[in-house]
Every structure is written in structure tokens, then in C-alpha cells.
Structure 1
Amino acid sequence: MTLLASTAVSAQQWGDPPLPAGKDPETPSWPPRERLALWPGRPPGGPAQPIALDWTMNGPTGGRQLWVRGVETPEINVFRAPEPDGSAVLVIPGGGYDFVSVQSEGLEIADFLNTKGTTAFVLTYRLPGEGWTPCHLAPLQDAQRAMRLIRAKASTFGIDPERLGVLGFSAGGHLAADLTVSHGQRVHDAVDAVDSLSARPAFSGLIYPVATVQPGASHGGSRDKLLGPNPSQPLADARSPLRHITGETAPTFLVHAIDDDLVPVANTIDWLAACRAAEVPCEAHLYSEGGHGFALRAPKDSSASQWGEMFARWMRKHGG
């Protein structure tokens, strides 16, 4: 994934106050005041050296968005709906496993879900290239732990733990897909009673997802960041969610633009085919135009701008 020119905003510890809007009018207030660390101590497989948290605004004027790197303390960032109906979604932003796109694929998604009565939890997860071992499991460890922690505190958040789903974008779509098929895989030692709870999503939304890390079929940048150089075939197979769809896989909602030049649309088409073969409920929306990374920012006259409303209706029928 090509990174655009960036302007540094801040580098703080998670315990500091949220990042205030500065001179750049597009700078959001981040993180929210209600947020929760995933792990009671240091996450598993910690790097030997501290990681410097980096928040940067990236992109051209009129389209900037906040990216996060250096996640040493992964968190769920809580966005409560004004009129909650008990449904909840773990939102996983993308970023090619090189950064976390917390604005367009996190904050803006959470705001939208809140208008539908859904409580949203935006995940800031560890990036595999920042010294974690094993690097390919760190994001999945965080995603599993997030689902379990949300369920453990369901009464505090005012949600129904059986109505908790996941919504992921791009590389975050890979992580959401991996969680969907590998929620029961033991990827870290239990640290407390939370880890006895289920990490299975009731439903899954995969938006222009990286569904496989097989050579020639994936987004190369995401694959290289997650698996490192020259991964073995068994490792690539293990972290290719597309290969692990079964009849027990959660219902899935898919979105992709056919002209996506970063993540091949075949990732979505093949997921749909695998779900049909396994008799898993699945709905897919393919758009002729949209490129990659449009989230909820597609032009209003574009059909790709409607997927959010469609997802909100769909999830009500499939556990949300």
C-alpha cells in the first residue's frame, strides 16, 4: 500500500487526554475518552524495546485522515449509541498492517453505527512489523481478546453479548475474516477468566477485505507485513481465512469495488463462493467503481455510498 505524504500530529501515551483538534480543521478528537486496554499487563510476545506511539494526518487537503502506528497498548475505543438497542460491533480499521486507519475506517464508522442504535468498539491492534513475536499472531490475539473482553463487560456497555459482530476493512478485513474462522484457535496462553469466553462473532462484515495471503491473490503489502519475508506455505495457508470457511462460519456481508487496484476483487468473490459451498448465509455487493479504501466516503451519487445502510439492515437479520 502506497503511503501518502503525512503531517505529524502527536505522539502521546494512551493514558493522556484525547488528541484535540488543532490547526488542521480535519484533525479529529482521538482517542475517545472511554477506552479500555485489552490486556491486564503487557501483551504477549512483547518487543524488547518500547514502541513510540505515532499519530499522523495523511492525504491531500479535503481528504486527510488520522493514522496510528506504534501500538504498544492495544485498546477497544468505545462509542456508545445515544439510543442503544443492545447490538454491538467490533470495528477493525485497515492500513495494510503498516498503520491503523482510525478515522475513515474507525471513528466515522462508529459514528454511523451509533445512529442505528449500535454500540461500536474500534480496535487499535498491534502491528506485526513492530517487534511482536510471533508477528503473524499479534493482531489475531488482540481481535480475539477484544471480543472476549467486550462480552465480559456486556452489562457495563449495555449490550447483548449474543448480538456482537465484527466489521473489518482491507487488512482489517483480513483480521476480521481471520477472527471469523479462527475465533476458537488458541493463539495465546490464558491470562485471566476473560479468556474462557467465546470470541466468535455473531455476524461478520468484510469490506474490500484481504481474504487470503496466498501469493498473487492477496495484497502484497499486507501479506509481507503480517508474515514477514519468504513465509512457508503452511504459514500462508494457516493465515488465509478463505481456506477455513466451514458450515459453522458466521453469516457474512461483503463489499468490494471491481476496479480496486490494491486488493483484488477475487478476494470477495471467492469468499462468497466458499460460503455458498458451505451453506453459510452471505450477501455480497460489488460495485463497478470505487477503488480501494472508500469506507463511507464514496460520493453520494455513487452506488458504493449505500453499503452502510444495507449492512445496518442486513445485520438485524443475522444476529445484530
Structure 2
Amino acid sequence: MTFDRRSLLTIPLVAGVAPAAFARTGAQLGGGQSRETDLPIWPPAERFALWPGIPQGAPNPLPTPHPTMPRYPDGYRDFQMRGVVRPEVGVFRAPRPDGRAVLIVPGGGYAITSLRNEGIDVARALNAFGITAFVLSYRLPGEGWADRADVPLADAQRAMRLIRANARTYGIRADKLGVLGFSAGGHLAGSLTVLPDFNVYRPVDAADRHSARPAWAGLMYAVSNMDPGRSHGGSRANLLGPDPLPTVQARYAIDRQLRPGAPPLFLVHAEDDTTVPVANSVDTLAAARRAGIPAEAHFLQRGGHGFGTRLSPRSPGSLWPQLFDRWMGEAVSP
């Protein structure tokens, strides 16, 4: 069975899960336009749900799961998701695991999640260094959930706790579990970093006794705050809504919430990013220095936004996975 663009957007889904038909090659999905033969799918073969049943605060009616596979100008096909009802985590095991692990948080302005470009592809790149990767498919705040601004953080906290509770199963060390987020996903990773113990959901089971604090945090071209005119407008609007309470806006100002003792930070941002201005990472770095938090920052002259692992091999920024791997060796105690 093959799918063109129109049929791809109208496939019925249940429980936030894309059908196995998405395993078709790029040629089958795109009418022969793509030459990709290993197009990834969601969900992956190994995964786990975050919540037993529908999460707390669900709207009525529930959001409708809606996957798309947009084609970028260079022909690359992403896999993006909206309408997640049952958030889950995809597990990507390293061929030769070394005990390190990372929860990857894709971006998308809190309007979609870029599960391939800023999830699956990143997981595979990090697997090559012995890092076990977990990709988070989280609920989106603007889809009717109660306490909208806290919904993504609830999913991220719960994911960290479940991973730690099952560390032995995954062959990882609980004290070497960090987070890596991109764009709005970088804001969520930052929120997890500064608010790991903030009460955003009622405990479900024994896993919730575990800490949600990441051992370290990688923030890739990340949104750092929720100030009007200073934040990424789309991320702010989608997370907070049209008339946010000042206390909620302040809660998610990552650069202002950094305190001494927070996990070490790894920052990457391109100066020509026209979506999330580089000032967001500059502000985060300055806040980390004021708080005495170890931080390493890489500011690229060129790279734009949303590059994931797809920068040209000629670009210095294409080496960020290698830099990240080596930085972890220093940031995480043996």
C-alpha cells in the first residue's frame, strides 16, 4: 500500500500511534520524489507509555492524533506529530552502551514535535558514541489540556522518573541520565533542568519516587524565556496561551530560574538563527555564569534554525554531537 501527500494527512490514528504503514520508503510515501530507503517511523519498535490510560486533565473531546511528513527544501522528510493523547518514549539502544543515557526532547514551537529531525536522527547519532537515547513524544499545551503550561513539563518529569526506575532494564546508570532539547524542546529541557521537583502532576506509582533532575542538560538553539518580544513568539503563545498569569510566565523563564547547584549546561546556537534569536542562549550562558553553573557554549556563525544533525560536513557546527559526547565526559562524574 502506498501513500501520497493527501492520503498521508488523512490516515486515521488511535492513541497517538502512527500506523506501521509509515515504514514505507520515501519513494512510496512521496510518489517517487524521495530516494530515502530507511525512512524512520514513529513509534519505534521499543517504547513505553508515560501514563496508565489517558493522562490527567484531558480535554473533551480528545485531540486527534495527526502525523505529517513535510518535505524540506533539500528533499529531507521529517516526521512531525500533533494531537498526542498518550505520550510515550521511544527507546534507541546503543550497539555498545557505556551507561550514559539522554532524554531527547524534539522541538516544534509547542505546536508540533519534530520526531525525526530532532529526535530519531539525533538518537542514532548519539548511539554511535555508546549513549542510550530516549525520544520523548509529549503532549502539546494548546490542545485543550488543563493547566496547559505545565503539561509538557509533566510529561518530561514522568519520562525521567520512569527511565530511572528501569535503569537496569535499559543497561544505563541512573546518575548518568541527562536531557537534550531543541528549540521549544530546548525550553522544555531547560524547564526540566530548573524545575525537576515542581509539582505538576499527582504521583502515579513507585516510579514517581525517583528524581526527575537531569545529570546535565544540552540546550540546542533553545528558547530561554517567555517574555513578550524577547521569547520566540509562537512558543510563548502556544505554551502560555493568550493571557498568562505573571507567575506562570516567570516560572518558565529558564534564564531567570537558574540557581546555584543546577546541572551543567551545553549550549549550541547559530548567530544567523532568525526563528529563535541567539540572544536566548547568550542570556542563558550569562545566567549560568552568575549562578556558578558549569556551562559550555558554541555559537556558530552560520547554521540557521532547526538543523538537528543535518548541517553540512563542511560546517564546524556539524561536529556538535562529537563535542557533546566529549563534554559529557567532563560534565558527568565517573
**SS of 1:130's equivalent?**
coil
Q: Which moved more, 1:7-16 or 1:198-207?
A: 7-16
State the superposition RMSD in angstroms: 1.7
Partner residue in 1 for 2:125:
112
Query: Which of 150, 163, 168 is residue 150 of structure 1 equivalent to?
Result: 163
Name which of 44, 49, 57 aligns with 2:61: 49
What residue in structure 2 maps to residue 28 of structure 1? Answer: 40
Once the two structures are superposed, residues 225-280 of structure 1 have per-residue CA deviations (whole angstroms, 9 ceiling, x without a partner) of 00000223222111111111011110000000011101111110011111111111
Please, what TM-score do these two structures have when normalized by structure 1?
0.95
1:7-34 Cα shifts (integer Å, max 9, x gaps): 6384433567643124134442222111
Paired position in structure 2 for 1:8: 9
Matched-pair contact (CA < 8 Å) for 1:9–1:57: no
Secondary structure in 1 aligned to 2:308? coil
Alpha-carbon distance in 1 for matches of 2:129, 2:278: 28
CA deviations on 1:169-201 (whole Å, 9 max, x unpaired) are: 000000000000000111111111111110000
Alpha-carbon separation, structure 1, partners of 2:233 and 2:154: 22
Partners of 2:262 and 2:117 lie apart in 1 by: 27
C-alpha contact (below 8 Å) 2:17/2:65 kept by paired residues: no
Alpha carbons of structure 1 residues 63 and 154: separation in structure 2 relative to 1, 3 Å:
same
| 1:37 is the counterpart of 2:49 | yes
1:310: which partner in 2?
A: 323
- Residues 82-104 of structure 1 show CA distances to partners (whole Å, capped at 9, x for unaligned) of 11111100000000000000001
- Report how far residue 153 of structure 1 moved: 0.6
Other-structure match for 2:107: 94
Q: Tell me the amino acid that sits aligned with residue 24 of structure 2.
A: A
Measure, in 2, the Cα distance between the counterparts of 1:10 and 1:277.
Answer: 50
> Normalising by structure 2, what TM-score?
0.91
| Structure 2 equivalent of residue 264 of structure 1 | 277
- What is the CA deviation profile of residues 60-98 of structure 1, one whole-angstrom value per residue up to 9, with x for unaligned ones? 361221101110000010001111111100000000000
- Gaps (5+ residues) in structure 1? none
The percentage of aligned residue pairs carrying the same residue is 50
* Residue 85 to residue 72, structure 1, CA distance change in 2 (3 Å): same
Shift in CA distance, 218/16, structure 1 to aligned 2, threshold 3 Å: closer
Task: Count how many residue pairs are aligned between Structure 1 and Structure 2.
Answer: 316
How far apart in 1 are the matches of 2:40 and 2:323? 26
Give the C-alpha shift of residue 52 in structure 1: 1.6
5+ unaligned residues in a row in structure 2: which ranges? none
Distance 2:301 2:131 in 1: 29
8 Å CA contact retained: 2:142, 2:239: yes
Aligned to 2:287: 274
Q: What amino acid does structure 2 have at the position aligned with 1:263? A: V
- Supply the distance in 2 between the matched residues of 1:37 and 1:9 (Cα, whole angstroms): 24
Q: Which amino acid aligns with 1:31?
A: P
